[in-house]
Amino acid sequence: MTLAADPRAVFTHVQPAARRPPANRASKTVSSGTLLISTITLLALLALWFVATQLGWATPLFLPSPAEVLTQFQAVALDGYADGTLLQHTLASLGRILVALGIGVVLGVPIGLLMGLNRWVRGTLSVPIGLYWGLPPLAYLPLLIIWLGIGESSKIVLLSLSTFAPICFSAQAGVRSVPVERINAALSLGATRLQLFTNIILPSALPEILTGLRIAVAAGLSCLVAAELIAARSGLGYMIMSAANFLSTDVVFVGLILIAVLAFLFAIGMRWLERKLVPWKGKI
């Protein structure tokens, strides 16, 4: 077997590799496909709801038609329900969840970072935080009402506790997931502790923190409805409970749809925040 005089001749029969589409174009194509599938799924669910009510698969008491829900939505928006307009109930619930998320971020992120950096802090705080996070919120809501009353304080504390734990543990996990090689490389280049934290640890932990924030939003919304069902005079949960007492299923659907819309908007906001703060997530 003889080799060609020109080494490059060995590769003359090798077909060039197919060009891959740019990453941004591929991601846009995937996003468009996902959006189309989601839209079709939503339309299919609405169609199933319409067909079920038109064919009488369920009585209006249990499943009102989309037209009845839309009519009730307009009536509640214009005339109000349960001592408040629809906008007032929505703003009351939204204000509570935003305040609780703010408290959860302000307390959860620093404490979680400290737990990831220091084993003494981690050993001291991980047990009590893990114990209360494992409890259902309705289990300790009566205690909060006894201690703080039925005003806004008990609801804000309940929501803050529900958002604090996932943010805190996510921040800790983000610190623990930083590669040791990256830290050693920064130290070998003469980075100070402050530079190491701001340039290596915090950016590396940011994707985990944002994931914890998304979990906290879902936990906060579920606890929000629970708190407003028991001890509130305003909010979407209070409106739902008031409607349920009078068997107004269409008003219950109005409240549930608004809560779902809020959750969807929060999810969109979190995706936008992730694209702005951690554009490299999922690409490296």
Q: Identify whether 221 is part of a domain.
A: yes
Asked if the structure places residue 79 within a domain, the reply is yes
What CATH number should be reported for the domain holding residue 198? 1.10.3720.10
In this prediction, residue 247 carries a pLDDT of 87
Average pLDDT score, the chain: 83
pTM across the whole model = 0.78
| Residue 40 placed within a domain | no
Q: For 192-215, how does the pLDDT look when each residue is reduced to its tens digit (9 = 90+)?
A: 888 888 888 888 889 999 999 999
In a domain, 255, yes or no: yes
Q: Which positions of the chain have pLDDT values less than 70?
A: 1-33, 231, 281-284
**Does residue 94 fall inside a structural domain?**
yes
Q: What is the 3-state secondary structure (H, E, C) of the chain?
A: CCCCCCHHHHHCCCCCCCCCCCHHHHHHHHHHHHHHHHHHHHHHHHHHHHHHHHCCCCCCCCCCCHHHHHHHHHHHHHHCCCCCCHHHHHHHHHHHHHHHHHHHHHHHHHHHHHHHHCHHHHHHHHHHHHHHHCCCHHHHHHHHHHHHCCCHHHHHHHHHHHHHHHHHHHHHHHHHCCCHHHHHHHHHCCCCHHHHHHHHHHHHHHHHHHHHHHHHHHHHHHHHHHHHHHCCCCCHHHHHHHHHHCCCHHHHHHHHHHHHHHHHHHHHHHHHHHHHHCCCCCCC
Residue 51 falls within a domain, yes or no? Answer: no
Q: Could you give the number of structural domains in the chain?
A: 1
Predicted local distance difference test score (pLDDT) of residue 18: 46
**Is residue 2 one of the residues assigned to a domain?**
no
Range of the domain at 242: 66-277
Q: What is the pLDDT of residues 106-132, one digit of tens each?
A: 999 999 999 998 899 999 999 999 888
Question: What pLDDT score was predicted for residue 55?
Answer: 86
